[in-house]
Structure 1
Amino acid sequence: MSKRMTESQIVAMLKEAEAGIPIKELCRKHHVGNSTFYKWRAKYGGMELSDVKRLKELEEENRRLKQMYA
Structure 2
Amino acid sequence: MNKTKVNEAAMMSAIKASECGKRVSEICRELGVHRSTFYLWKKKYLRIRESEQNLLNKQEAENLRLKQQRSALESNTSIIAKLLLS
- What's the offset of the Cα at 1:3? 2.5
Bigger drift between 21-30 and 2-11 goes to: 2-11
What is residue 34 of structure 1 aligned with on the other side? 35
- Aligned-residue Cα RMSD (Å) equals 2.4
- What's the offset of the Cα at 1:25? 1.0
- What's the offset of the Cα at 1:8? 0.9
Question: Which segments of structure 1 move beyond 2 Å, counting only runs of 4 or more?
Answer: 45-48
TM-score normalized with structure 2 length: 0.48
Structure with bigger gyration radius: 2
**Equivalent residues in 2 for 1:1-70 (5 A)?**
3-45=4-46
> Percent identity between the aligned chains?
31
| Other structure's SS at 2:22 match | coil
Greater RCO (CA < 8 Å, at least 6 residues apart) = 1
Report the AA paired with residue 32 of structure 2: H
Count residues with an aligned counterpart: 48
- What's the offset of the Cα at 1:47? 5.6
Q: List runs of 5+ in structure 1 lacking aligned partners.
A: 52-70
Q: Which has the higher helix share?
A: 2
TM-score normalized with structure 1 length: 0.58
Specify whether residues 46 and 26 from structure 1 end up closer, same or farther in structure 2 by C-alpha distance, changes over 3 A only. farther
